[in-house]
A = this chain, B = another copy of it.
Amino acid sequence: MNSLARFSVNQMTVKQLSMPELVAACRETGVPGVGLWREPVRSYGLDATAKLVHDAGLAVTTLCRGGFLTAIDPGERRRALDDNRAAVDEAAVLGTDTLVLVSGGLPPGSKDLRGARERIADALGELGPYAASRGVRLAVEPLHPMYAADRCVVSTLAQALDLAERFPAEQVGVTVDTYHLWWDDTAPAQIARAGAGGRIHSFQLADWTTPLPEGVLNGRGQLGDGSVDFRVWRGLVEAAGYTGSIEVELFNEELWARDGREVLAETAARFVEHVEHVEHVVR
């Protein structure tokens, strides 16, 4: 099997590339899949993007992202739900079956994590059936606990599954991202739980490197530069039955400052070096 057969590049990894440049670079490098983001898709045009990627034979592995479902204000809540339905529609046009959700942080002044998580559950109850009716699955992504206040109150895979399991797996599952979960000794058991329920809808990779930059958003490490043992994580999701694409999503100022095609080629090479040829790890 082609060593890049499972590889997908998330568009954010090489955000310096325009949509046509991204597609051309994927073809040159032999990358079979891309994870897209709504903002650049909108800039290039939804239908134009769909045509561009499909004409190039690229699979769209995910659309990033919906979510931000924690608002208390009714008007804000309604706008968030409308926006998520629009994201589902865009995913369907792009031909991907997976919309990644970043759930949202605490509303201003609130200290109630549990209440925020319940509002996410309420929103998933509305959005899940809508998504499934369009052939799209929602993938709740736990983000690292350092984002709990301002970005995502869902911090662990257990919390994400506690939410997802209230709904059918074809409506709501989870995203497993090594950057967010690598530190958690309960994650292996939770990956098994997710796999048993058919809920691993996306598997994403980034390495953990330090020191973290100010704001802690754009310091996700290139594969092999940090503390994550990718073969172990790939082994875990595969032991749980996951056979889908493996998406590399790096937010990294240093990578963005370089030539995007070079970064894509490097990322593909790192994928082969650090992720392929999985060892069977007994834990």
A contact set with B: CB distance below 8 Å: 106, 111-114, 117, 144-146, 148-150, 155-156, 158-159, 182-186, 208, 210-216, 226-229
A186: chain B residues within 8 A (beta carbon): 158
A211: chain B residues within 8 A (beta carbon): 150, 214-216
Q: In the assembly, what is the distance between CA of A7 and CA of B249, in Å?
A: 45
Majority SS at the chain A contact face: loop
A158: chain B residues within 8 A (beta carbon): 186
Q: In the assembly, what is the distance between CA of A229 and CA of B116, in Å?
A: 14
Q: Are B114 and A183 in contact (CB under 8 A)?
A: no
Q: In the assembly, what is the distance between CA of A117 and CA of B185, in Å?
A: 11
- Which listed residue, B114, B144, B183, touches A185 by the CB 8 Å rule? B114
A185: chain B residues within 8 A (beta carbon): 113-114, 117, 156, 159
A144, A158, A210, A211, most chain B CB atoms within 10 A: A210
CB distance from A226 to the nearest CB of B (A): 7
Query: Can you list 28 residue pairs at the A/B interface with Cβ under 8 Å?
Result: A111-B228, A114-B185, A144-B145, A145-B145, A145-B146, A145-B183, A145-B184, A146-B146, A146-B212, A148-B182, A148-B183, A148-B208, A148-B227, A149-B183, A149-B208, A149-B210, A149-B226, A149-B227, A150-B210, A150-B211, A156-B184, A159-B185, A211-B214, A212-B212, A212-B215, A212-B216, A213-B214, A214-B214
CB distance from A167 to the nearest CB of B (A): 19
- Which chain B residue lies CB-closest to A209? B149
- Which chain B residue lies CB-closest to A150? B210
